[in-house]
């Protein structure tokens, strides 16, 4: 069973600058996660998820997304992994 994906717009620091980014969002109970990356492996879908504070999510369908995140997204850099 797959969790329902929503569209999220938020702000993240990229190359030293604050940028707006769009990511997939899913919920697990009261917890919220952005999907940073995913790959298919046969019948499996592997996801790199980053947990975010669900209290900072605001519903907003007028901007082409389901939610806007009012906090700063801190996403891992691939070169640091």
Q: What is the pLDDT of residues 10-69, one digit of tens each?
A: 888 767 778 888 999 999 999 999 998 899 999 999 999 999 999 999 998 777 889 999
Backbone angles phi, psi at 29, to 5 degrees: 65, -125
Structural domain contains residue 81:
no
Structural domain contains residue 47:
yes
CB 17 within 8 A of CB 36: no
Structural domain contains residue 78:
no
pLDDT score, position 24: 94
Structural domain contains residue 28:
yes
Structural domain contains residue 77:
no
pLDDT score, position 80: 53
Structural domain contains residue 64:
yes
- Give the domain range for residue 65: 6-70
Domain count, the chain: 1
Structural domain contains residue 79:
no
pLDDT score, position 12: 81
pLDDT score, position 46: 92
Q: Using the predicted structure, report yes or no on whether residue 78 has a pLDDT greater than 70.
A: no
Sign of the dihedral defined by the CA atoms of residues 56, 64, 49, 3, in that order: positive
Structural domain contains residue 12:
yes
Q: Is 43 exposed, middle or buried (0-12, 13-18, 19+ CB in 10 A)?
A: exposed
Q: Is 9 exposed, middle or buried (0-12, 13-18, 19+ CB in 10 A)?
A: middle
pLDDT score, position 36: 87
């Amino acid at each position: 069973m797959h969790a329902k994906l929503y569209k999220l717009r938020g702000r993240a620091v990229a190359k030293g600058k604050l940028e707006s980014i769009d990511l997939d969002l899913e919920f697990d109970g009261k917890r919220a996660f952005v999907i940073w990356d995913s790959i298919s492996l046969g019948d499996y879908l592997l996801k790199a998820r980053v947990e975010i504070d669900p209290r900072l999510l605001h519903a907003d369908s007028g901007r082409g997304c389901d939610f806007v995140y009012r906090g700063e997204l801190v996403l891992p850099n691939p070169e640091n992994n």
